[in-house]
Amino acid sequence: MEHISAGKNVFVYPMPVALLGSVVNGKPNFMALGWFSRVNANPPLIGCGVGKHHHTTFGIRESQTFSINVPDASMIREVDYCGLVSGRDVDKSALFSVFYGETGTAPMIRECPLCLECRLVGSMENPTNEFFVGEIVASWTREQFMTEGKPDIKKINPLLLTMPDNRYWTVGEEVGAAWSAGRDLAREK
Amino acid sequence: MEHISAGKNVFVYPMPVALLGSVVNGKPNFMALGWFSRVNANPPLIGCGVGKHHHTTFGIRESQTFSINVPDASMIREVDYCGLVSGRDVDKSALFSVFYGETGTAPMIRECPLCLECRLVGSMENPTNEFFVGEIVASWTREQFMTEGKPDIKKINPLLLTMPDNRYWTVGEEVGAAWSAGRDLAREK
């Protein structure tokens, strides 16, 4: 059976969901973020695609820092709200309990199980979005979200997003071990 | 309760899993990919972080095209295998049934429910990885993976990856509608 076209504007399935934090005009602000990824192994760099006219863009340029906060599924209303309204129009600074880490200028969310604190190291300008690349200078979590010293996704219970159907999902079952599940195939070949 | 440090090298939870396809020295090759994201809205651009010395890096530079193939969970062994071995050492071209789309040079995987075909439009060099940005010129799926004309994640049944615990996961339950779940909060404020 042949594949058929699904159009050009198909989004990656599934996208992780985060709240991108920055200080804009002296105030902590957060936007819903689905477009982000690690981009470099050493040092640990992470990049995020942000609409050029988003309030956040000005904050990141100004402070040269940002945070990526991973919410748990119970925060779905607040996460979605942060994607519906702009910090230009409403003050989102009181929505969460905010804390700061090593940089002192990347606002992080106490309610989020995992927060990555980043210092801007570069950016790539694309037609409608700027892709900000930051070095992860620290990450923050709580003991209750870790197993054997590592953040545990089942305890964090993050959200996923699919587009263009615009639905949120949770993470399902563990189905295998990475750098391991294909070892028998490597032996066979 | 205070957050505690979880180190610098924390990976985003959760990462989508794909097979990155390129033709290297005239042969289709596929690597396991967890570092990719949309980076621009219009035109639809997607970026992927690839180790500089990976075989794939040479293929993308050579052909100026690549593909992002989303496997379903039943392909876990093959996906993991593609992450364990390099195309420099083994021929991965016969592992899947390969097809080509509009570019003619981005090898795509018939067994994958969703394939994005990309033309390289730029790249960003980082210390250990190159971040390749491509325009999605077409995407390919089958009727059986769509609902009301859109790719359906429950039918695609993709894999997720977490690091540094190195585990694969499936997608779980639908928990809400995006650009909607926070509307009551917007009304309250």
Across chain B, mean pLDDT equals 95
Name the pLDDT band for B11 (thresholds 50, 70, 90). Answer: confident
By residue range, what is the domain housing residue B145? 15-188
Identify whether A169 is part of a domain.
yes
Quick check: B153 and A43 CB within 8 A? no
Q: What ipTM was estimated for this complex?
A: 0.96
Quick check: A178 and B172 CB within 8 A? no
Q: From the list A5, A164, A181, which residue is nearest B80 (CB)? A: A181
Quick check: A43 and B127 CB within 8 A? yes
Q: Is B176 left (phi over 0), alpha (psi -120 to 50) or beta?
A: left
Query: What distance in Å separates the CA atoms of residue B168 and residue A8, rounded to the nearest whole number?
Result: 28
Query: What distance in Å separates the CA atoms of residue B22 and residue B27, rounded to the nearest whole number?
Result: 8
Task: CATH number of the domain at A173, please.
Answer: 2.30.110.10
Quick check: A7 and B139 CB within 8 A? yes
Contacts of B174 (CB under 8 A, 6+ apart): A167, A168, A169, B154
Any idea which residue has 């200078």 for tokens?
A137
Quick check: B175 and A116 CB within 8 A? no
Per-residue pLDDT at A1: 64
| Among B72, B59, B73, CA closest to B28 | B59
| Mean pLDDT to the nearest integer, A44-55 | 97
Assess B88–A contact: CB distance below 8 Å, yes or no.
no
| Mean pLDDT to the nearest integer, A38-43 | 96
Identify whether A59 is part of a domain.
yes
Name the pLDDT band for B1 (thresholds 50, 70, 90). Answer: low
Query: What distance in Å separates the CA atoms of residue B112 and residue B106, rounded to the nearest whole number?
Result: 14
H-helix or E-strand containing B155?
Answer: helix B153-156
Identify whether B70 is part of a domain.
yes
Partners of residue A9 in chain B, C-beta under 8 Å? 44, 136
Identify whether A24 is part of a domain.
yes
pLDDT digits (tens, 9 = 90+) for B93-137: 999 999 999 999 999 999 999 999 999 999 999 999 999 999 999
- Contact status, residue A71 vs residue A114, Cβ threshold 8 Å: no
How many domains does the structure of chain B reveal? 1
Across chain A, mean pLDDT equals 95
Identify whether B6 is part of a domain.
no
Per-residue exposure over B44-58, b if at least 16 CB sit within 10 Å of its own CB, e if not: bbbbbbbbeebbbbb
Identify whether B99 is part of a domain.
yes
Assess B46–A contact: CB distance below 8 Å, yes or no.
yes
Q: How many CB atoms lie within 10 A of CB A104?
A: 10
Quick check: A40 and B126 CB within 8 A? yes
Q: From the list A79, A164, A174, which residue is nearest B167 (CB)? A: A174
Per-residue pLDDT at B9: 82
- Contact status, residue B65 vs residue B105, Cβ threshold 8 Å: yes
Identify whether B145 is part of a domain.
yes
Assess B137–A contact: CB distance below 8 Å, yes or no.
yes
Percent of chain A with pLDDT over 70: 99
Query: What distance in Å separates the CA atoms of residue A34 and residue B162, rounded to the nearest whole number?
Result: 16
What are the tokens at A50?
A: 């942000």
In angstroms, the separation between the Cα of residue A105 and the nearest Cα of chain B is 17
Assess B51–A contact: CB distance below 8 Å, yes or no.
yes
Assess A151–B contact: CB distance below 8 Å, yes or no.
yes
pLDDT digits (tens, 9 = 90+) for A99-154: 999 999 999 999 999 999 999 999 999 999 999 999 999 999 999 999 988 899 99
pLDDT digits (tens, 9 = 90+) for B22-50: 999 999 999 999 999 999 999 999 999 99
Q: From the list A41, A84, A170, which residue is nearest B186 (CB)? A: A84
Q: How many CB atoms lie within 10 A of CB B145?
A: 23
Q: From the list B41, B48, B146, which residue is nearest A51 (CB)? A: B41
Query: What distance in Å separates the CA atoms of residue A68 and residue B82, rounded to the nearest whole number?
Result: 30
Query: What distance in Å separates the CA atoms of residue A25 and residue B92, rounded to the nearest whole number?
Result: 52
Identify whether B34 is part of a domain.
yes
H-helix or E-strand containing A153?
Answer: helix A153-156
Give the bridge partners for A65, in sequence order: A119
Q: Is A166 left (phi over 0), alpha (psi -120 to 50) or beta?
A: left
Assess B53–A contact: CB distance below 8 Å, yes or no.
no
* Amino acid at site B30: F
